[in-house]
Amino acid sequence: MTTLATNRLRFMSMPTQSLTPLRIVIISVAVIVILVFIAAISGRLSAVSPLVFTQLTGNTMGTSYSIKYRHSPDTPPSQTIQDEIEQQFIKINQIMSTYDPESELSRFNHSDLTDWIPVSAPLYTVLKAAFEINRQSKGAFDITLGPLVNLWGFGPEVQPERIPDQVEIALVLKRTGHDKLALHETAPTVRKIRTDVYVDLSGIAKGYAVDQISTTLERHGIEHYMIEIGGEIRARGANAQEIPWQIGIDKPQMYRRSVQKVLSLNNTALATSGNYRNFFKIDHQRYMHVIDPATGWPAKNNLASVSVLADTCMLADAWATALLVLGLEQGMIMAEQLELSALFIVNQDGIFVEHASSHFQPKDTQHITITFLATFLIMGIAIVAMATGIMMGRRPLAGSCGGLGRFGLKCDVGCSKPCSTPSDHKPSADKSEL
């Protein structure tokens, strides 16, 4: 009993330190930091709920598609979603395909009327976007080049690989140009100025289809997905490794597939247009499928490919084509003027050189978040350590007073003894190299 009483007296007689306003502030800050950090971590942990990974593949629009997504267990079965997506593909083809003679676009092309013709909402949406990009690109993107595409053998009308003569090209050029079409938004309707105008949406339709599929997935509550149709991509959320979707841009070479650059995509669309696969060669000269509206000839420049990031895949798809037609110099000027996020790859004697616009800065937001949280945790631990020293009336951890001193607080906050100066510490013989 005597020992217990003595210990109790010793405890009661221990010096206490009053909580000054400054100490209260520091303790409050420490508590807030801990609570915010716990809330942030809890949010991240709750976000990493057990999601199911699913991949769908198939063929559409003359190419293949791949859809990867992560979803909750109560999402409709994958077969149900794929059936819905396939129906969307069928509908889009029935509207915009030039290979289907019964599609809405084919019927418009074959019409010899110059009257206003009502069109479906999807077709009008794509036509309106095409007209706007044609205006912004000063004609580099042109959906009326179908006759020239066919003339050069790249369209649905199979032609032998040959170089058309200039007379043929000049005649067909008279049928092209967006001034040969008119749009009326109220109805919506479209009108030919010349009866022989032919519209080809191959440079924008796949991007539109990607955007439509993303809407379908989001309608089912799916927030993490990557959609790819013939190289046109849109991604949102995180992949199975809980990082943004990692998308490789092909090295623009003919016979071997490899990756030129890897981008982290989240809530972004990506499209690439190149001249290294769809072409023919005569007398050692390559003629690519992208036609220059100004000349009627395949675009001729040193660009191997152009990749564009945009909010929608429809815009990325069209702009990749337009910038490829313009070439590096004019394309870069336009990308900077319109704040486009574009990556140009030039083939310089077999070496692929990248030229990026100033807005081509895809960011890995996940890594930034992790770095921020880690920094936040370190700061929290340091403040908690100092606050603990204050509350316990003991000398803070070595270096903590130095940190407070930088804020003008010096050693009068929680320091029972003067803080050591740098000269008090002997250098350690151990070194660690990062």
User: Binning pLDDT at 50, 70 and 90, where does residue 433 land?
Assistant: very low
Report pLDDT for 427: 34
What is the pTM (predicted TM-score) of this model? 0.73
Lowest pLDDT segment from 135-149, 198-212, 270-284, 336-350: 270-284
Q: Which three-class secondary structure string do you get for the chain?
A: CHHHHHHHHHHHCCCCCCCCHHHHHHHHHHHHHHHHHHHHHHHHHHHCCCCEEEEEEEEECCEEEEEEEEECCCCCCHHHHHHHHHHHHHHHHHHHCCCCCCCHHHHHHHCCCCCCEECCHHHHHHHHHHHHHHHHCCCCCCCCCHHHHHHCCCCCCCCCCCCCCHHHHHHHHCCCCHHHEEEECCCCEEEECCCCCCCCCCCCHHHHHHHHHHHHHHHCCCCEEEEEECCEEEEECECCCCCEEEEEEECCCCCCCCEEEEEEECCEEEEEEECCCCEEEECCEEEECCECCCCCCECCCCEEEEEEEECCHHHHHHHHHHHHHHHHHHHHHHHHHCCCEEEEEEEECCEEEEEECCCCCCCCHHHHHHHHHHHHHHHHHHHHHHHHHHHHCCCCCCCHHHHHHHCCCCCCCCCCCCCCCHHHCCCCCCCCCC
**With 60 as the cut, is the pLDDT of residue 43 above it?**
no
**With 60 as the cut, is the pLDDT of residue 373 above it?**
no
Lowest pLDDT segment from 119-133, 195-209, 322-336, 360-374: 360-374
**With 50 as the cut, is the pLDDT of residue 321 above it?**
yes
User: Binning pLDDT at 50, 70 and 90, where does residue 126 land?
Assistant: very high
**Mean pLDDT: which of 39-43, 149-153, 278-282, 372-376 is highest?**
149-153
CATH superfamily of 252-259+267-361: ApbE-like domains (3.10.520.10)
Q: Where are the domains of the chain?
A: 19-48+364-410, 252-259+267-361
**With 50 as the cut, is the pLDDT of residue 426 above it?**
no
Give the residue, 428 or 212, on which the prediction is more confident: 212
**With 50 as the cut, is the pLDDT of residue 13 above it?**
no
Query: CA separation (Å) from 305 to 187, 204, 310, 422?
Result: 38, 17, 17, 58
**With 60 as the cut, is the pLDDT of residue 423 above it?**
no
Report pLDDT for 140: 96
Report pLDDT for 153: 83
Average pLDDT over residues 3-9: 49
